[in-house]
Structure 1
Amino acid sequence: MPELAPDAPASTEVAGRHYRVRDHYEVGREKVREFARAVQNNHPAHRYEADAGKLGCDGIIAPPTFTSVIGGLTTQALLDNVLTDYDLSQVLQTDQVFEIHRPIQAGARLRTEAEIASIRHLRGNDFVTVKTTVVDENEVVVQVAATTIVARLGEEIDPEIVRLVEGLVMHRPDASRNREVLIPIGTGQATAAPELAESRRDWEVHTIPTFDSLSVGDQLPIATRQVTRGDLVNYAGVSGDANPIHFSDHAAELAGLPTVVAHGMLTMGLGADYLSTWLGDPTAIETYSVRFSGFVPVETTTPAEIEFTGRIKALDPERRTATVLLGGTSVGKKLFGRAIAQVRLS
């Protein structure tokens, strides 16, 4: 896991600072397949080269939310070594945005830059937004992501939670041996992403619905997905998000939850499959953003069910894109405060 020197200041003064990961991330063919299975992204282009080739790709295609693995490691490093005022047990993710300039393919060698985009104080909490830019071996920006977390300030940490975390969470490398993996860089050294419309201009999509067949207000077919405790454990291992509230009843209870709950990013990944299934082409997703407002409770032996819906909010005839409002519910409760995607159509 990338780390920074622990003496970096943790305050609003770090807002605007940029960092570069020294080592590259090589996208493994089997890692893509494992991640696709973990988030139930079932398009065959995530598994077979022949199907990816039909969409203009040489290697199998990573699911739209794949870079959450890379971004999660980088955000964790910032929390460990720069944003050290925040206790990890008091941090929650509230928003996630993916801006997809090019599909990520197996075999790609990616480098990553991160910016602490903003830190906002609100009612005793800090809202921290981290922007991650992923660049391929040809120095082409393939994806830009933004994660917002809320950190509770001034609260005494329950000693029972501390003991639980120490006894349950996955072991991590010694931070003192990895301090130079993230390199501070100046604003002028940071990679600037091009306009999405420009970078996607020559990318051809092969969607089932065509632009001309859609109208504002059209509803996407309702679909359901199921998750079990096994799915949560699998996703925790594949993604690296080992928060014990996703597999330990005791941890969930201490956190004030009724039972173990699904990862927000797993729920978002399932939503990406809902979109891809409707489109017939996962590379047609240009942007995908979610504000989390609820959770999916997952009982011990009963699968949890999530219902996804969608509606066409707007159409852009010049670029042949549609803006889709997404909905997700579980046990009758909304999961998203806002979920929206921009997709390109044949």
Structure 2
Amino acid sequence: MGRQETMARPDIDAVPATSAGQRYQVLDHYEVGREKVREFARAVQNQHAAHQHEADARALGYPAIIAPPTFASVIGMTATRALLDSVLTDYDLSQFLQTDQVFELYRPILAGDRLRSEIVIESIRQFGDNDFIVVRFALINQHDEVTIVGSTTIVARRGADVDANLADVTENIMMHGRPAESDLTLGDALVPLGASPLAEPGEPELAPVHTVPAFDEFAPGDLLPIGSFRLTRGDLANYAGVSGDANPIHFSDHAAQVAGLPTVVAHGMLTMGLAGGYLTTWLGDPTAIRKLSVRFSGFVPVAADAASTVEFTGRIKSLDPNTRTATILLGGTSEGRKLFGRALAEVRLG
């Protein structure tokens, strides 16, 4: 599942000529609801009190409850679907695989924020029978401040026929309520902005961090405590509803088996959300995470009658005394299976 490092030269005739390098704005803004933040925090088991209570957020220097580090994935799911439905129409949602996800957090997302989304199709590269599509995005709040810049890498087979069995399964058990593809046009979801770069983040004015570990306590090579989480089918169903990622391989044994999986598996972004919670628990301050980057390489199987365990580890890779930041190499496993090809976090320490 890991992305190949060495890419063949793209076949330009096979790539949508008007897509790569184009920037779009999602037509409607996203209003961050207090209860949505709380629901998402519970879904990814991010237990810090600042995700639930205003008083705890104010203690960190912010006027409203703080969204977990991977909350942007909720907004990004809508943008990805809009791209596939109206721009990257040669691909099918059921035929792509997410391999990499990066979040660069410049300002916390707070309940009450009104966020607009910009997205750029950075590149489309052909490697064998697959296309590697890199999409970058920026979320800008009501004060015209960039809160998060990130990127997603997906792999898809261009023009591939959808497995008829999988199509039938999806039709019969997929979550309803989403507009039919025939009802979607570019004007319904995206505004073309031409070939131009994303909005640039300014120098963030961040409140001081209130971390439990102090910068001066560490040296490169030091280990973080091991963190452990449990996932059940109920957790997967809850995350599907909260995040909007309702791929049936995450709740239907039949769909998972048709897709070639041994059983239902957890969402990749759910495991990344757990990793964010692991870091926050250690740090004691969710706003201390500046960057979280994951390359997915495995999955968490979740049986119908038993919980699965996900364990995380961390090691200090490097320290920057000028910014008092640490780069942490993360590891994640479940039942001996490695979940990440590479995962890094950059955090501020007090």
- For Structure 1 versus Structure 2, the TM-score category normalised by the shorter chain is over 0.9
Query: What letter corresponds to residue 29 of structure 2 in structure 1?
Result: H
Does 2:75 correspond to 1:46? Answer: no
Change (3 A) 1:316 1:70: same
Q: What residue number does 2:267 align with?
A: 263
Q: What residue number does 1:65 align with?
A: 70
CA distance in 2, matches of 1:169, 1:11: 29
CA distance in 2, matches of 1:190, 1:234: 33
Q: What residue number does 1:249 align with?
A: 253
Residue 37 of structure 2 aligns to a residue in which SS? helix
1:192 to 176, 188, 200: 200
Could you tell me how far 1:186 is from its partner in structure 2? 2.6
Residue 220 of structure 1 aligns to a residue in which SS? coil
2:298 to 289, 294, 297: 294
Could you tell me how far 1:12 is from its partner in structure 2? 4.8
Change (3 A) 1:158 1:186: closer
Q: What residue number does 1:233 align with?
A: 237
* Residue range with higher mean Cα deviation, 12-21 or 59-68: 12-21
Which runs of 5 or more residues in structure 1 are unaligned? 1-8
Tell me the alpha carbon deviations over residues 251-274 of structure 1, each in whole angstroms, 9 at most, x when there is no partner. Answer: 110111110000000000000000
Is the Cα–Cα contact under 8 Å of residues 10 and 84 in structure 1 kept in the other structure? no
Q: What residue number does 1:321 align with?
A: 325
CA distance in 2, matches of 1:213, 1:35: 32
Q: What residue number does 2:128 align with?
A: 123
Where do 1:133-212 residues align within 5 Å? 133-153=138-158, 155-171=160-176, 172-175=178-181, 176=183, 179-180=186-187, 181-188=189-196, 190-194=198-202, 198-199=203-204, 202-212=206-216
Could you tell me how far 1:87 is from its partner in structure 2? 2.0
CA distance in 2, matches of 1:155, 1:128: 15
Could you tell me how far 1:178 is from its partner in structure 2? 6.0
2:86 to 72, 81, 86: 81
Could you tell me how far 1:314 is from its partner in structure 2? 0.2
Is the Cα–Cα contact under 8 Å of residues 12 and 119 in structure 1 kept in the other structure? no
Could you tell me how far 1:142 is from its partner in structure 2? 0.5
Does 2:314 correspond to 1:310? Answer: yes
Is the Cα–Cα contact under 8 Å of residues 10 and 85 in structure 1 kept in the other structure? no
CA distance in 2, matches of 1:177, 1:128: 22
TM-score (norm 2): 0.92
CA distance in 1, matches of 2:179, 2:90: 21
Is the Cα–Cα contact under 8 Å of residues 244 and 251 in structure 1 kept in the other structure? yes
* Residue range with higher mean Cα deviation, 294-303 or 177-186: 177-186
Could you tell me how far 1:173 is from its partner in structure 2? 1.7
CA distance in 1, matches of 2:156, 2:17: 13
Query: What letter corresponds to residue 151 of structure 2 in structure 1?
Result: A
Q: What residue number does 1:6 align with?
A: none
Is the Cα–Cα contact under 8 Å of residues 10 and 83 in structure 1 kept in the other structure? no
Tell me the alpha carbon deviations over residues 163-185 of structure 1, each in whole angstroms, 9 at most, x when there is no partner. Answer: 11111212212452664231000
Where do 1:85-100 residues align within 5 Å? 85-100=90-105
Is the Cα–Cα contact under 8 Å of residues 10 and 82 in structure 1 kept in the other structure? no
Q: Aligned residue pairs: how many?
A: 334
Is the Cα–Cα contact under 8 Å of residues 18 and 115 in structure 1 kept in the other structure? yes
1:274 to 262, 275, 278: 278
Could you tell me how far 1:93 is from its partner in structure 2? 0.6
Query: What letter corresponds to residue 275 of structure 1 in structure 2?
Result: L
